[in-house]
Each structure stands twice: as structure tokens, then as C-alpha cells.
């Protein structure tokens, strides 16, 4: 005769989210189905939408120099072809380099906090470019410095992807990261379509 004994199952209780000052959350576990259902999905989606918007702006700022530079000589600048190539490539070089510290900033400052900070930093290169196009007498080193500021837009991509990867369970992470990346790439497309019109 065979006896069977019920198999003991252990369930991990849902950890409550603890909110701290500065918009920090302790106890986050996107793999906890109950936590995900109760609060997690809403928090993750809110962060995804903010991240998509910030990345859209970042890519737009990062790519704008490739649209503006070919038009600068038409408004009074006297740039050589080599100088124009440098102005277009400087944001890409700085943006690629900034991806390392931007990725490390997410755990240090918090994902949402860093997303807001990095999005606000985009005002600097945008305002500087808006000012510079009205001053064709600017020396090339000043222009290259302003172009380098636009590299902060490229750094946004790394921090944005690192941030969103923390928020979603494995079953939804691919879709979330894909939407996030697409939002950024749409920023490039938007600036390429809209800037020539303006």
C-alpha cells in the first residue's frame, strides 16, 4: 500500500511597497504577481511614459545638429566642410561617452529623479543652439562647445533603458524596452521632419 503525503508549498508573501522621501520606493519586485497587480503595473507604466517622453526629447536634441549645420552658412556663418563635419559628429561622440555615467546615475539618484534631471539638462543645448544661430560671428570653438552640449541627449538613452529595465517583470520587459527605444527614435524622426519646415 502506498501512502501519499500532501506536498508542502511555500508562498512568498507580497512585500508591501515602502515609499521614502525623494520619490524612492523600497520593496519593489515586479516579479511579485500580487504587488504587480495592486500597484506595480501603474507605477511601471507611469515611469515608462515619462521615460519615453524624455528619450524622445533627448534624441531630438541629439540629432538637431545634423539638420541645422548644413543650413548655417546660408544664414551668415562661414564654416568649412571639415568644421561642419565636426559640428555634426561632436554630439554623437559626447553622447556615446555620456552613456556610461548616465547608466550609473540611475541607481545612484533614482530612475525617475534622474529622468527628470537629464530631461531638464536638455534645455541647455537647446537654448544655446537657439542663441548661436543668431550670432554668425561666433568663433568655431564656441560652436563646437555648444554642439558638444547636445551630447546630453545621447546619454539619455542609456539611463532611460537602465531605468525601465528595473520596473517590469521579465514577461513584459522586452515590450517595455522596445516602446522606450522607439520613443527615442521617434525624436530623431520628428526633428528631421519639423526643423526644415521651421
Q: Of 1-15, 20-34, 137-151, which one has max mean pLDDT?
A: 137-151
Q: What CA–CA distance (Å, rounded) separates 140 from 31?
A: 52
Which residue, among 40, 11, 8, has the nearest Cα to 27 in the 3D structure?
40
pLDDT score, position 25:
80
Both ends of the chain: CA-CA distance in Å?
86
- The mean pLDDT of the chain is 89
pLDDT tier at 10, thresholds 50, 70, 90: very low
Mean pLDDT, rounded, for 50-67: 94
Domains and CATH numbers, the chain: 46-194 (1.20.1250.20)
Residues 6+ positions from 155 with CB-CB distance below 8 Å: 58, 94, 95, 98, 99, 101, 102, 118
Give me the DSSP letters along 19-33: EETTTEEES--TT-H
pLDDT score, position 126:
96
Report how many helices (DSSP H) and strands (DSSP E) the chain contains, helices first: 8, 2
Query: Quick one: what percent of the chain has pLDDT higher than 90?
Result: 71
Predicted confidence (pLDDT) at residue 22 exceeds the cutoff of 80? no
Mean pLDDT, rounded, for 132-152: 96
Q: What CA–CA distance (Å, rounded) separates 138 from 125?
A: 16
Amino acid at each position: 500500500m502506498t501512502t501519499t503525503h500532501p506536498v508542502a508549498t511555500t508562498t512568498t508573501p507580497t512585500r508591501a511597497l515602502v515609499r521614502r522621501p525623494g520619490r524612492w520606493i523600497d520593496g519593489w519586485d515586479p516579479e511579485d504577481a500580487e504587488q504587480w497587480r495592486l500597484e506595480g503595473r501603474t507605477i511601471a507604466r507611469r515611469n515608462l511614459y515619462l521615460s519615453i517622453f524624455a528619450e524622445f526629447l533627448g534624441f531630438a536634441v541629439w540629432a538637431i545638429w545634423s539638420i541645422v549645420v548644413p543650413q548655417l552658412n546660408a544664414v551668415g556663418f562661414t564654416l568649412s566642410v571639415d568644421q561642419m563635419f565636426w559640428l555634426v559628429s561632436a554630439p554623437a561622440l559626447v553622447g556615446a561617452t555620456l552613456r556610461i555615467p548616465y547608466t550609473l546615475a540611475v541607481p545612484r539618484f533614482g530612475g525617475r529623479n534622474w529622468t527628470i534631471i537629464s530631461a531638464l539638462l536638455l534645455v541647455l543645448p537647446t537654448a544655446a543652439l537657439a542663441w548661436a544661430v543668431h550670432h554668425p560671428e561666433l568663433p568655431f570653438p564656441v560652436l563646437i562647445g555648444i554642439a558638444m552640449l547636445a551630447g546630453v541627449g545621447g546619454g539619455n538613452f542609456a539611463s532611460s533603458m537602465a531605468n525601465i529595465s528595473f520596473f517590469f517583470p521579465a514577461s513584459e520587459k522586452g515590450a517595455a524596452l522596445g516602446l522606450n527605444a522607439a520613443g527615442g527614435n521617434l525624436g530623431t524622426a520628428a526633428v528631421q521632419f519639423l526643423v526644415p519646415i521651421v
